Structure formats: C-alpha cells, structure tokens
C-alpha cells in the first residue's frame, strides 16, 4: 500500500513492547508519530530511540504520542530497550511494535525491496488528530534521523493549522511567518495585529501569532 500526504492513516492491531495495541486507540485525539527501524540491536537505531525517549516531554507538550516499529520479536524489543536505556542514559517509555510478520510494515510501505527485502527503511509519519498523514520522510538505513527537524515540522503543522499561516525556509519557532496568498493584505492587517511586512504582493510576513 502506498500512503500519500492527506491520506487517512490505516488502523492496525499489533503486539508491542508494552502489550497489545490498537493504533487508533493508542493515538486517541493526539497527534502521532509512527517511525520504523531496520532492526533491533543496531547502533544507529539505538541512538535514535534513545534520543526520541529524551524528547518525551517535548512531544507531550505538543500533544503528540510516538510509537516505533521493528521487524523483530517482543522479547528482542524488551531486551534491546535495556541496552538503549543503559547506553543512552534514558528510560524508553513509548511502545515499539513487534512486526515479525511485516503486516504493519507492508501496510505502511516501510519495506523498500531495492534497499532491503527484509529490513524496514527509516520511514517516519506525522499523523494529525483526524488520523490524516501530514508528513512522510524516509531515510536510508545508514543515516540516523534528525528529530529536532521532526519537532520543527510538528510545530509548523500545529501553528499553520491553528493560525492559517505558512512557515518560510529554515523557520524556527518564534520566527516570522508567511501570510498565504489567499488572504488579502487588507484582511491580513486585521487578522494579524502584530503587523504585516509586504515584500511583494505575494510575499508578506507577520510575527508568529502565538508568541
């Protein structure tokens, strides 16, 4: 199955390091991040899961739940988590799906045969509370993800949904944002009382509305 932006993320039942999971029930009304890993006991994955664990407060602040996936058994996950906690100085509290039969991996197109016929690539999806897919990003197995970028995108998605703005290149939380072309400059001056800077009729900035 090929999943695209705007698609409804399919639900699934799975076994995880924290027990049986219904994906939709796990997410509830939260935003969600589902990300896959090539295998347990691998060095890059160990650093990724450790860093994700350290960001739990950041994700919670954004109303977001994370859930990982690997094509290994639950027992492997649970023992590997001990290694992650030890080597990365953390406590992994989010579930890791045990996708031994690859049902979830195939459902979400996490296996790319030309890269590996058996291991999942490093795919990550951001899913909104309506269960719509808002971001898809895929790295090769050899390259660890940048979770600071994931947080940045999550901030952008939540900001733009709430305030109907867009974020420019290299935007960071607190920077000026862009006024979409669908809003006239006159409307923008009413909608954004912090001010409107017009560079071109189609390129207009305003301070981030919620700061």
Q: Which pLDDT score is estimated for 2?
A: 83
Structure tokens at 61: 């602040």
- Say if residue 77 is in the same domain as residue 181: no
> Is 6 domain-assigned?
no
User: Do both 30 and 115 map to the same domain?
Assistant: yes
Distance from the first to the final alpha carbon of the chain? 40
Q: What is the pLDDT of residues 3-37, one digit of tens each?
A: 999 999 999 999 999 999 999 999 999 999 999 98
CATH number assigned to the domain comprising residue 197: 3.30.1020.10
Listed residues 91, 110, 144: the one ending a domain: 144
Q: Is residue 71 annotated as part of the catalytic site, yes or no?
A: no
84 is a domain residue = yes
Instruction: For residue 64, list its beta bridge partners.
Output: 31
If asked whether residues 137 and 168 sit together in one domain, one would say no
Q: Considering the domain boundaries, does residue 211 fall inside one?
A: no
Pair (22, 103) in one structural domain: yes
Asked if 22 and 111 sit in the same domain, the reply is yes
What CATH number has the domain bearing residue 95?
3.40.30.10
User: Strands of 133-139's sheet, edge to edge?
Assistant: 19-22, 13-16, 96-98, 64-70, 31-37, 122-127, 133-139
3-state SS, one letter per residue, for 101-131: CCHHHHHCCCCCCCCCCCCCCEEEEEECCCC
Contact 3, 109 (CB under 8 A): yes
Strand-pair partners of 133: 127
C-alpha 134/C-alpha 37 separation (Å) is 20
Q: Same structural domain for residues 29 and 120?
A: yes
Residue recorded with tokens 């290149």: 169
Residue of 9, 14, 33, 45 with catalytic role: 45
Q: Is 153 contained in some domain? A: no
Q: Which run of H or E residues covers position 33?
A: strand 31-37
Q: Are residues 31 and 91 in the same domain?
A: yes
Residues 136 and 173 in one domain: no
Answer yes or no: is 26 within a domain. Answer: yes
Domain range for 200 is 164-206
* Percent above pLDDT 70 for the chain: 95
**pTM (2 decimals)?**
0.92
The verdict on residue 159 lying in a domain is no
Residue 136 lies in a domain: yes
Q: Assess whether 39 and 82 both reside in one domain.
A: yes
Q: How far apart are CA 211 and CA 30, in angstroms?
A: 22
pLDDT of 145-181, one tens digit each? 999 999 999 999 999 999 999 999 999 999 999 999 9
Whether residue 111 sits in one domain with residue 169: no
Q: Verify that 123 and 26 share a domain, yes or no.
A: yes
For 64, phi and psi rounded to 5 degrees?
Answer: -125, 135
**Quick check: 188 pLDDT over 90?**
yes
Number of domains into which the chain is organized: 2
Residue 121 in this model has a pLDDT that exceeds 80: no
If asked whether residues 169 and 200 sit together in one domain, one would say yes
Distance CA 157, CA 44 (A): 27
Residue 151 lies in a domain: no
Report the pLDDT value the prediction gives residue 118, as an integer from 0 to 100: 52
């Amino acid at each position: 199955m090929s999943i695209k932006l705007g698609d409804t993320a399919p639900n699934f039942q799975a076994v995880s390091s924290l027990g049986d999971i219904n994906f939709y029930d796990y997410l509830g009304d939260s935003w969600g991040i589902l990300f896959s890993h090539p295998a347990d006991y691998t060095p890059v994955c160990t650093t990724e899961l450790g860093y994700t664990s350290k960001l739990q407060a950041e994700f919670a602040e954004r109303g977001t739940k994370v859930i990982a996936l690997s094509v290994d058994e639950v027992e492997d996950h649970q023992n590997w988590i001990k290694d992650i906690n030890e080597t990365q100085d953390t406590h992994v509290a989010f579930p890791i799906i045990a996708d031994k039969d690859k049902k979830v991996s195939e459902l979400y197109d996490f296996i790319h045969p030309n890269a590996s016929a058996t291991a999942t690539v490093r795919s990550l999806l951001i899913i909104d509370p309506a269960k719509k897919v808002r971001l898809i990003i895929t790295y090769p197995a050899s390259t660890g993800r940048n979770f600071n970028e994931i947080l940045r995108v999550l901030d952008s998605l939540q900001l733009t949904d709430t305030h109907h703005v867009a974020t420019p290149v290299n935007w960071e939380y607190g920077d000026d944002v862009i006024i979409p072309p669908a809003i006239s400059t006159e409307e923008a001056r009413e909608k954004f009382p912090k001010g409107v800077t017009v560079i071109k009729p189609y390129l207009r900035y305003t301070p981030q509305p919620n700061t």
